Amino acid sequence: MSMKINKTYSARDVEQEAQSYWSSAKIFLADEHNSGEKFYSLCMFPYPSGNIHMGHVRNYSIGDAIIRYQKMCGKNVFQPMGWDAFGLPAENAAIKNNTHPASWTYKNINNMRIQLKQMGYGYDWSREIATCSPDYYRWEQWLFLRLYERGLAYKKKSVVNWDPVDETVLANEQVINGRGWRSDALVEKREISQWFLKITDYAEELLDGLNHLEEWSVQVKTMQKNWIGKSTGVQVSFKIKGTGNTVEVFTSRPDTIFGCSFIALAPDHSFARELSEREPDIKLFTDKCMQMSTAESDLATLTKKGIQTDYIAINLLNGEEVPIWIANYILSSYGTGAIMGVPAHDERDHEFAGLYDLPVKHVIKPVDKESANIEGLFTGKGILINSGEFNGLVSDDAIEGVTQKLREIKAGTFETKYRLRDWGVSRQRYWGAPIPIIYCDDCGTVPENDLPVVLPEEFEFTDKSNVLKNIPEFYNVKCPSCGKNAVRETDTFDTFVESSWYSARFTCADQPNMMLDERADYWAPVDLYIGGIEHAILHLLYARFIHKVMRDEGLLTSDEPFVRLFTQGMVLKDGSKMSKSKGNVVNPQDYIDNYGADTLRLFMMFSAPPEQQLEWSDSGVDGAHIAKSY
């Protein structure tokens, strides 16, 4: 780092004087009674990892420049700051440094607050939030119970990554090449009972709402649209020969049904499970599949594998018999967990059929092709051939015709499916907000209405998967309903739950009696939300969902949490993202100490357009500093 500093300009003196004036004059305190048009600007709040990094500096410098401009234009500005304080890194750091996640987190918050103040950002610190505070998460617990009453929170069994050596559930990012990150043991899939929020009930509204978000980038909206993944099609029943049963498949291309040459089931489809209990070969295959990642990104590149069952399915439209397979590329969570394999007109089916020598029957020809003798894969729409009474129809007409026919013979219904799954919010971790539920042998699942359920912080933190399971004072309780001995839920919430409603709570962070008061409706929605593109799907989708839930609870009236979304570019050093492992991290504190915050902010704002990547440059900082000194 260059240290050629102009002695005539003392950044420290100038900045401290300005900052103490802003503070004493209450320049940045929010005021609902100001007559100007309201402008609520929010930068995604940080995880308190220890120190602010250059990504924070860029994000927050952009936000701060904008609120100062809006303020000078006469708007009534609100810009709060807080801490996304729960999560796994605190537990890992606590184990590594032999401390407690709570004390580690609070220490980091105090340090980072000092740094943000040194940066001179115009925050209303009177409305600061730390999500690990019971004052905050008690309202999350309260909202969860409202959701539970409305049937939007429910418990079901679902598959988790299980480390058999550490005897703990692992997050996906803790599984490295199929092994536990700490134990190096082969990770198993286990089914355990977990809490889910029914985001799928809002799928259509979340999709439709994207059309009204005019100040969001097309890129982010497209990512959300694909994640919700709406498709319309037909659920078709195939008869299982020799049994009274049927297998249901979902297809968005019923016009290709005459080209079906096999049925494929997901390894954990109910019929596949039934077979695996009787047949060792099938069990061996499905067990192996269950160990594989089911992330869709992995499925796309997966080597396709299958096993043929002894069963035959009958296509009720033409009486044709096709074999039933179990295949590793079918997802039980999408559609019905079973597909009709049409190798001539579907890429994945084509690949699978090639591996196992299954028939490829062409039933669609391109509109512009005269000959009916086509070969290879054709996934487009066209004109039907080899399809009985539907020959000669164009695909769109055939989709309608085939669907109609299937309905007549009671072998199909029109369906809308979404790729979006319900949101699993249970985490088998200590450092999170407790889920306010009690289990009683007599009464079953009982909501805990005595809120907050406080996460205990006064005990020695140990290297255990979920230490709450080892604190009887926490989980041994009396049933609120019958008074008998009962136990508390020891799972905590996914930290995405806390960040899904913090923008609303900022507006009334000091309100002790309710989740949101009338100030929420004054400030919400956020006029400008700034953060990284990596949050395009999960955080932003969950926040939109919870905002709509809060609206339906009568807590506020707007439909969406964020009017305008801005995603800033990354800060790079030597062409790549700053990271400890690459050793290319530049620490903001060094520059605050040696150049002052204004130099750093000036460099951040003028080195690259805000939406593009910014390459770190020490000489650029020098340049900004010289400019600042005049």
Residues that bind Zn ion (CB under 5 A): 440, 442-443, 479, 481-482
Contact, 122 vs 166, CB < 8 A?
A: no
Question: φ and ψ at 401, to 5 degrees?
Answer: -65, -45
Q: How far is the CB of 490 from Zn ion (least distance, A)?
A: 18
Considering the complex, what minimum distance in angstroms separates the CB of residue 438 from Zn ion? 8
Smallest gap from residue 529 Cβ to Zn ion (A): 44
> Hunting for tokens 């029957």 — which residue is that?
361
DSSP class of residue 26? T
Q: Where is 624: in which H helix or E strand?
A: helix 618-629
- Which lies closer to Zn ion via its Cβ, residue 73 or residue 482? 482
Tokens 């410098």: give the residue: 61
At which residue do the structure tokens 């918050």 appear? 109
Q: CB of 149: closest distance to Zn ion in angstroms?
A: 18
For 281-317, the DSSP string reads: HHHHHHHHHHHS---HHHHHHPPP-EEEEEEEEE-TT
| Distance, CA of 226 to CA of 222 (rounded, Å) | 6
Q: Give whichever of 254 and 447 is closer to Zn ion, judged by the CB atom.
A: 447
Cα distances from 427 to residues 130, 200, 256, 434, in angstroms, run 19, 20, 43, 10
- Name the nearest CA neighbour of 363 among 257, 468, 287: 257
Question: Least distance from C-beta 477 to Zn ion, angstroms?
Answer: 10
Q: How far is the CB of 109 from Zn ion (least distance, A)?
A: 39
SS3 (DSSP) at 334:
coil
Rounded CA gap, 625 and 4, in Å?
A: 10
**Cβ of residue 555: shortest distance to Zn ion, in angstroms?**
30
The label of the residue with tokens 């989709």 reads: 399
Cβ-contact 265, 274 below 8 angstroms: no
Residue among 330 and 479 whose Cβ is closer to Zn ion: 479
Q: What is the DSSP letter of 623?
A: H
> Which residue type does 114 have?
I
Output the smallest distance, CB 481 to Zn ion, in A: 4
Answer whether the bond into residue 561 is a cis peptide, omega within 30°: no
Torsion 35-36-38-41 (CA) sign: negative
Helix (H, G, I), strand (E, B) or coil at 529: strand
367 versus 482: smaller Cβ distance to Zn ion: 482
Q: Minimum CB separation from Zn ion for residue 469, in Å?
A: 21
Whether 547 contacts 531, CB under 8 Å: no
Minimal distance in Å, beta carbon 478 to Zn ion? Answer: 8
The residue among 191 and 441 lying less far from Zn ion, judged by its C-beta, is 441
Amino acid at 148: Y
Contact 384, 390 (CB under 8 A): yes
Three-state DSSP class for residue 103: helix
User: What single-letter DSSP state applies at residue 356?
Assistant: H
- Residue number, 377 or 443, with CB nearest to Zn ion: 443
Q: How many CB atoms sit inside 10 A of residue 508's CB?
A: 19
Q: Measured from the CB of residue 446, what is the shortest distance to Zn ion in angstroms?
A: 6
SS3 412: strand
CA dist., res. 28 & res. 75, Å (int):
12
**Which of residues 484 and 582 has its CB atom nearest to Zn ion in the complex?**
484
Q: Which is nearer to Zn ion, 487 or 538 (CB)?
A: 487
Q: Least CB distance from residue 442 to Zn ion, whole Å?
A: 5
Q: Which residue's CB is nearer to Zn ion, number 50 or number 480?
A: 480
DSSP-derived secondary structure for 166-201:
TTEEE-GGGEETTEETTT-PBPEEEEEEEEEE-GGG
